Amino acid sequence: MAPGSGNGNATPTLNVSANSTFFTRQFTVNVNGQIFQATQGSVTCTYTIEPLFLEESADGGAARITITTADGCGWTASPSEAWIRVLTPTGTGNGTIIIELAPNPSDVRNAFVTIAGQQVSVRQRRRG
């Protein structure tokens, strides 16, 4: 806080670092014996998902999707089809979503996984 001390009239200035989390911050400031409560707002949760398209073999197996967001921002992941299983269905902050694809018994098939409201397209190649 500036000025830190002095005589006469002054306008104190409080400098607070940016809050880069989802959590609000509260603090108390004491100015010449007067107590002031302050609350600093949080960031709005935004999400970056990578990749947005997966092409996987007919054999099935696991794939990874990365999510980047602010600390404290929650997310969920769910598949559009039963042949995809999400092994990491929920989380908070940055993370890796692991999905598992069942082997494909026939033709090419397409689906998506919805993560934090965004869709990741999944294409699984056909057998043989």
For 42-57, the pLDDT digits (tens) are 778 999 999 999 999 9
pLDDT of residue 3: 59
The answer to pTM > 0.75 is no
In whole angstroms, what is the distance from residue 124 CA to residue 57 CA?
A: 6
Q: Domain residue spans in the chain?
A: 48-124
Share above pLDDT 70 across residues of the chain, in percent, rounded to a whole number: 95
| pLDDT, tens digit (0-9, with 9 covering 90-100), for 67-106 | 999 988 999 999 999 999 999 999 999 999 999 999 999 9
> Domain 48-124 has what CATH class?
mainly beta
Rounded to the nearest 5 percent, the helix, strand and coil shares of the chain are 0, 50, 50
